[in-house]
Amino acid sequence: MAIGIIEVNHVNVVVPRSLEETTKHFYGSVLGLKEIPKPITSQGRGGAWYQLGSVQLHLSVRADAGDGEAGKGHVCYTVTDVGSAEEQLRAAGVEIIPDDQPIAGKPRFYVRDPGGNLIELAQASS
């Protein structure tokens, strides 16, 4: 059963809010990744996005006390047809995790692999 994965779109890393600036310095200055603008709907959440060839690295922040966001670190795969991929995964008995922070015009959903790792599946741009 192939669901039409095209490429890795981005990897999301999550750090405590107290380490946000240090981590931005690490990725932007120490590693030299190019920071790119986040979508307007994501700008108020903190963190940063970086371009790395055709793949992006998304830096997300969470409250220092831990609020369950640590489990949101993930890899994102682009698929040819996000609706078909969702149908196929449901048919295979995979639990679909709806997008709780949708971005207009960018349909996506999440699943977990058998080890609990979060995977985002997003519609390829046309």
Domain boundaries of the chain, sorted by first residue = 5-123
Instruction: Give the pLDDT confidence score for residue 64 in this predicted structure.
Output: 65
The CATH topology of domain 5-123 is 2,3-Dihydroxybiphenyl 1,2-Dioxygenase; domain 1 (3.10.180)
Q: Which of 19, 120, 31 is nearest to 72 (CA)?
A: 120
**Helix or strand or coil: residue 90?**
helix
Locate the DSSP E strands across 17-126: 34-36, 48-52, 55-62, 74-79, 97-98, 108-112, 118-123
Instruction: Give the pLDDT confidence score for residue 78 in this predicted structure.
Output: 93
In this structure, what DSSP letter does residue 37 have? P
Residues of the chain with confidence (pLDDT) below 50: 65, 67, 69-70
Q: Assign residue 101 a region (left: φ > 0; alpha: ψ between -120 and 50; beta: otherwise).
A: beta
Instruction: Give the pLDDT confidence score for residue 69 in this predicted structure.
Output: 47
